[in-house]
Amino acid sequence: MEIITERIADSTPAEKDRRLHTRMDANCPVVLEIYLSDKAQYISVIGRLINISIGGCLVASEYLPWQNADPGSIDEVVFSKFESICRVYLPWSNLHRISTIRRVGVFTTAVKFDQPLDEKLVENIAGMEKEGARTFKPRNPWKYNRILPRP
């Protein structure tokens, strides 16, 4: 139980959450790789980028592995079963970033990038397809939204 308390304490409460960079609205596909903490497995989730800044982004997906968890205990479920480190991939900009999960909701995940992005790149990503016409059709659809062994 101590580990869970430490991880929840690391996931910045709202009063300590200070945004250092402006968030820009975005609407493009994103792939989020979430690692299980007790097994050598991961889940590769396809979602939509809701907003992005130099330091992080907000991802929404109906395929998040904790979607059926009780909203009151979602932090405990997430930070006990999954690592706080994840990977973010934006297919249309070819951006790969190792990130840290900061906050979670039933259908959302807020992540902080380990290395900040360039401002021009953030503006380009935010300017992609405002109408949301761009989708992600993977070459290997079996690889997404399910548990896979770590490479």
User: Which domains are delineated in the chain?
Assistant: 2-12+21-129 (2.40.10.220)
CA 84, 137, 55, 87 torsion-angle sign:
positive
Torsion, Cα of 56, 107, 63, 50 (10° steps): -40
If one compares 118 and 131, the residue with the highest pLDDT of the two is 118
Mean pLDDT calculated for residue range 71-97: 87
pLDDT at 51: 92
Dist CA 133 CA 130 (whole Å): 8
Closest CA to 81 of 39, 118, 114: 39
Question: What is the C-alpha to C-alpha distance for residues 100 and 114, in angstroms, rounded to an integer?
Answer: 7
Mean confidence (pLDDT) of the chain: 81
Looking at 48-52, 55-59, 65-69, which range is the least confident one? Answer: 65-69
Average pLDDT rounded to a whole number, residues 11-19: 51
